[in-house]
């Protein structure tokens, strides 16, 4: 039904430790109450749980093989995936979660995003790898410019910059030219990539040259998120699909962020959100731990990350961000974290400081209790 190592979609489910999973890519980071209700119905053919991903997507989990077609039909009927599996596979476009809500975002951004959506649907880009993605930032209160994108677009007013992952160089242009330039860079990547699957694996100068572009500008530095718009987190980035539907009903819609959280545009009452398991307080210690599903949900995991995270928080309070990863792949937090505990064969953890889950560790063979002692966490 699917190839391992491939990025899952609605059409290409991935087998995991808790059954098959499907990935939903909300269009422009938005799910209406009707969308969320359709997701809840589809999820009933599986375990009903979903994970929020760091690309602003949802993973519906725990499907038996016979439940997949039923769920996929429900999602397609609701318009939650493109009808063309190849277009759906390439539809990896990260945008600010407050698009259309935040007046500080560039007014040109919706048209830029529409152009990028059409560009990614172009059959000439059929060979783009499944993980390949485009990022379009426009500032505002919740900018996404610090996240990864193989092609990186930044829009301020009517001005735009188009650059590549792994390089600060960019081509400055008018906002209406972004999709054309981004398409040229994607086609150039396909011509010169060899076996590379991500833009950063190819020298940026080679791609700009193959696209016939001379980068003479620098990508604007991403601004920091503001707390004016609060995000709602969930322990370990997991929630039940019925909860998603209830939150979307409370708020009219939800926005999905690349920080494994949601934004509720309408002022839902805090106590209603908390009653559904939403974490509003930015200082809640559950926000300090980022975990992937770990064992048994993921077949690659060496450790039960979620129960280990719960046990850690029951007794201790982490200082700063702690990434608890089921294996060195580090799916939940691909970038560097101040502290990472990455599962290793045998069910112990490797400790990495200021690095990624797969970076050389400071120590190996640690239990969670060993790590807590080493990190001198205060009691909860």
Site of interaction with ligand SF4 (CB under 6 A): 292-294, 298, 300-301, 325-327, 329-331
CB closer to ligand SF4 out of 11 and 302:
302
Shortest distance (Å) from residue 24 CB to ligand SF4: 17
Is residue 62 within 8 A of residue 100, CB to CB? The reply is no
CB closer to ligand SF4 out of 298 and 371:
298
Identify the burial level of 344 via C-beta atoms within 10 angstroms of its C-beta, where 0-12 means exposed, 13-18 middle and 19 or more buried: middle
Measured CA distances, 12 to 175, 338, 352, 366 (Å): 34, 34, 33, 36
Is residue 94 within 8 A of residue 55, CB to CB? The reply is yes
Is residue 79 within 8 A of residue 36, CB to CB? The reply is no
CB closer to ligand SF4 out of 24 and 301:
301
CB closer to ligand SF4 out of 56 and 326:
326
CB closer to ligand SF4 out of 67 and 237:
237
Shortest distance (Å) from residue 334 CB to ligand SF4: 9
Residue nearest to ligand SF4 (CB): 326
CB closer to ligand SF4 out of 215 and 294:
294
Is residue 300 within 8 A of residue 358, CB to CB? The reply is no
Shortest distance (Å) from residue 122 CB to ligand SF4: 31
Shortest distance (Å) from residue 185 CB to ligand SF4: 29
Measured CA distances, 214 to 115, 153, 209 (Å): 22, 16, 7
Shortest distance (Å) from residue 321 CB to ligand SF4: 16
Shortest distance (Å) from residue 73 CB to ligand SF4: 27
Measured over the CA atoms of residue 131, residue 88, residue 254 and residue 248, the dihedral's sign is negative
Q: Which residues contact 231 (CB under 8 A, 6 or more apart)?
A: 142, 257, 259, 261, 262, 263
Give the helix/strand (H/E) hosting 192.
helix 178-192
CB closer to ligand SF4 out of 160 and 312:
312
At 156, list the tokens. Answer: 């301020």
How far is residue 71's CA from residue 61's CA, in Å, rounded to a whole number? 11
- Chain-centroid distance, C-alpha 340: 18
Shortest distance (Å) from residue 339 CB to ligand SF4: 16
How far is residue 121's CA from residue 198's CA, in Å, rounded to a whole number? 18
Range list of H helices, 213-292: 241-251, 270-275
Shortest distance (Å) from residue 342 CB to ligand SF4: 8
CB closer to ligand SF4 out of 197 and 218:
197
Q: Largest Cα–Cα distance of the chain, in whole Å?
A: 58
Residue of 316, 318, 308 lying closest to 380 (CA atoms): 316
Shortest distance (Å) from residue 19 CB to ligand SF4: 14
CB closer to ligand SF4 out of 2 and 169:
2
């Amino acid at each position: 039904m699917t190839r391992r190592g491939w990025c899952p979609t609605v059409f290409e489910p991935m087998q995991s430790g808790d059954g098959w999973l499907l990935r939903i890519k909300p269009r422009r980071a938005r799910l209406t109450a009707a969308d969320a209700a359709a997701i809840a119905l589809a999820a009933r053919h599986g375990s009903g749980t979903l994970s929020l991903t760091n690309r602003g997507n949802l993973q519906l989990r725990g499907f038996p093989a016979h439940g997949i077609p039923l769920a996929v039909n429900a999602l397609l009927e609701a318009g939650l995936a493109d009808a063309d599996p190849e277009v759906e596979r390439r539809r990896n476009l990260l945008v600010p979660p407050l698009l259309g809500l935040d007046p500080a975002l560039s007014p040109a951004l919706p048209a830029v995003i529409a152009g990028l959506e059409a560009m990614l649907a172009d059959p000439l880009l059929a060979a783009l790898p499944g993980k390949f993605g485009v990022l379009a930032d426009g500032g505002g209160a919740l900018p996404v410019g610090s996240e990864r994108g193989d092609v990186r677009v930044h829009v301020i007013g009517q001005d735009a910059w188009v650059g590549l992952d792994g390089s600060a160089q960019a081509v400055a242009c008018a906002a209406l030219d972004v999709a054309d330039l981004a398409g040229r860079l994607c086609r150039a990547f396909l011509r010169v990539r060899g076996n590379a699957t991500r833009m950063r694996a190819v020298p940026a100068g080679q791609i700009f040259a193959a696209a016939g572009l001379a980068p003479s500008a620098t990508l604007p530095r991403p601004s920091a998120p503001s707390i004016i718009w609060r995000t709602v987190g969930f322990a370990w980035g997991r929630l039940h699909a019925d909860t998603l539907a209830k939150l979307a009903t409370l708020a009219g819609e939800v926005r999905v962020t690349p920080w494994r959280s949601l934004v509720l545009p309408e002022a839902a009452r805090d106590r209603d959100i908390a009653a559904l398991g939403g974490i509003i307080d930015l200082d809640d210690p559950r926000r300090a731990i980022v975990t992937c599903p770990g064992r048994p949900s993921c077949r690659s995991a060496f450790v039960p990350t979620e129960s280990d995270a719960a046990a850690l928080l029951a007794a201790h309070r982490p200082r700063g961000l702690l990434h608890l990863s089921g294996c060195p792949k580090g799916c939940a937090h691909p970038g560097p974290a101040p502290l990472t505990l990455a599962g290793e064969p045998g069910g112990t953890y490797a400790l990495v400081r200021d690095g990624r889950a797969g970076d050389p560790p400071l120590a190996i063979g640690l239990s969670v209790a060993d790590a807590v002692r080493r990190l001198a966490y205060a009691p909860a």
